[in-house]
Structure 1
Amino acid sequence: MSHHQETIESLNQLLQGEYMAVESFNNFISRLRDEKVRQTFMDIQKQHRKNIDRLAGYIQEIGGRPEENLGLKGTMGEIKVNLDLGPDADTSEIIKKAIEGETRGVNMAEKVLRGDLDEKSRDVAGEILHEDRKSIQKLERLQ
């Protein structure tokens, strides 16, 4: 596989993580009753959507094709979140699950950044990572 293809594959992994985050936040938001917490979750979800737009656009710019579906891994992750939370999850459980998910996303982004990326791709991935870290801080302030 060429270096260019590896870069596109790495960025698509990051893109998949952002799609998984949006889906998870759909689930979380539908369960939340506290309006302040709900609004914070909606803001974080909006940031993930911006990350998706940025990543997908950049992948196309460099001649790649963004993978814009969740795939089996995403579907299984969504099922796991539903099972872990159960039907009666309270706000603190939902916040805890969201922090766990965001932390997994940050870890994945860090792994992508440690890969063999060109400077521009590294900058794009680094900006996504920065935004995801800010999301964790917002969630932690809700605890």
Structure 2
Amino acid sequence: MTDSAQQLAKFLEGQYMGIHAYDHFIQNMDDAYLKQELQHIQQDLKSQASRVAARIQELGGNPPDNLGIGGQIQEWVSELKGFPASPEGILRMALKGEDKYGIHRAHEEIHGKLDEQSAALIDDVFKRSKAHVDKLQLLLEHLSAAERL
């Protein structure tokens, strides 16, 4: 497997972690509108993961189809800590995950390690993740404003 395919495979495992986190956010969200918004973001994450998996195959690699051992351990630890119960807490956790892990940490780990076409794909994925961050921030601001009324 090429270096780019290996880096994309690691990245894809991280994407799967995000998708699984949204499962928990959606399950624990009581607000129907916010649940729907989280579902839209999760669907976009799944679409982006599919694009990355296809690129791995184009490079001759075999894309992972799950979190990997590290992701499973991290998910288990998160479950032990518990997920927030309030809509605000869920949105804050989703926002932190998208921003810190989905964009910044992933960018640090993959930056400069990809071929040109793979880098362009990942740049697009990061742009989509930034749009998720913006959407989550907006939802959180509206929720906070509504609570003040």
For normalisation by structure 1, the TM-score amounts to 0.89
Return the alpha-carbon distance in structure 1 between the equivalents of residues 41 and 109 of structure 2. 21
Task: Measure how far apart 1:65 and its partner are.
Answer: 1.1
Residues 102 and 136 in structure 1, CA contact (< 8 A), matched pair in contact too: yes
Q: Which residue of 1 aligns with 2:126?
A: 129
Q: Which residue of 2 aligns with 1:97?
A: 93
In the alignment, residue 107 of structure 1 is paired with which amino acid? H
**Structure 1 runs of 4+ with >2 Å offset:** 79-86
Equivalent of 2:10 in 4, 8, 13:
13
Return the alpha-carbon distance in structure 2 between the equivalents of residues 53 and 134 of structure 1. 18
Residues 14 and 108 in structure 1, CA contact (< 8 A), matched pair in contact too: no
Residues 26 and 38 in structure 2, CA contact (< 8 A), matched pair in contact too: yes
Residues 7 and 113 in structure 2, CA contact (< 8 A), matched pair in contact too: no
Return the alpha-carbon distance in structure 2 between the equivalents of residues 37 and 8 of structure 1. 35
Point out where structure 2 has 5 or more consecutive residues left out of the alignment: 141-149
Give per-residue Cα distances to partners, 1:38-92, cap 9 Å, x unaligned: 0110000000100111000111011111111212221222223333445x61111
Task: Measure how far apart 1:99 and its partner are.
Answer: 0.9
Equivalent of 1:34 in 31, 36, 40:
31
In the alignment, residue 89 of structure 1 is paired with which amino acid? A
Residue identity over aligned pairs, in percent, reads: 29
For residues 45-84 of structure 1, what are the structure 2 equivalents within 5 Å? 45-84=42-81
Return the alpha-carbon distance in structure 1 between the equivalents of residues 11 and 123 of structure 2. 11
Give the aligned length: 139
Return the alpha-carbon distance in structure 1 between the equivalents of residues 112 and 96 of structure 2. 23
CA RMSD of aligned residues (A): 1.6
Return the alpha-carbon distance in structure 1 between the equivalents of residues 113 and 16 of structure 2. 23
In the alignment, residue 22 of structure 2 is paired with which amino acid? F
In the alignment, residue 41 of structure 2 is paired with which amino acid? I
Task: Measure how far apart 1:8 and its partner are.
Answer: 1.0
In the alignment, residue 90 of structure 2 is paired with which amino acid? I
Return the alpha-carbon distance in structure 2 between the equivalents of residues 29 and 89 of structure 1. 11
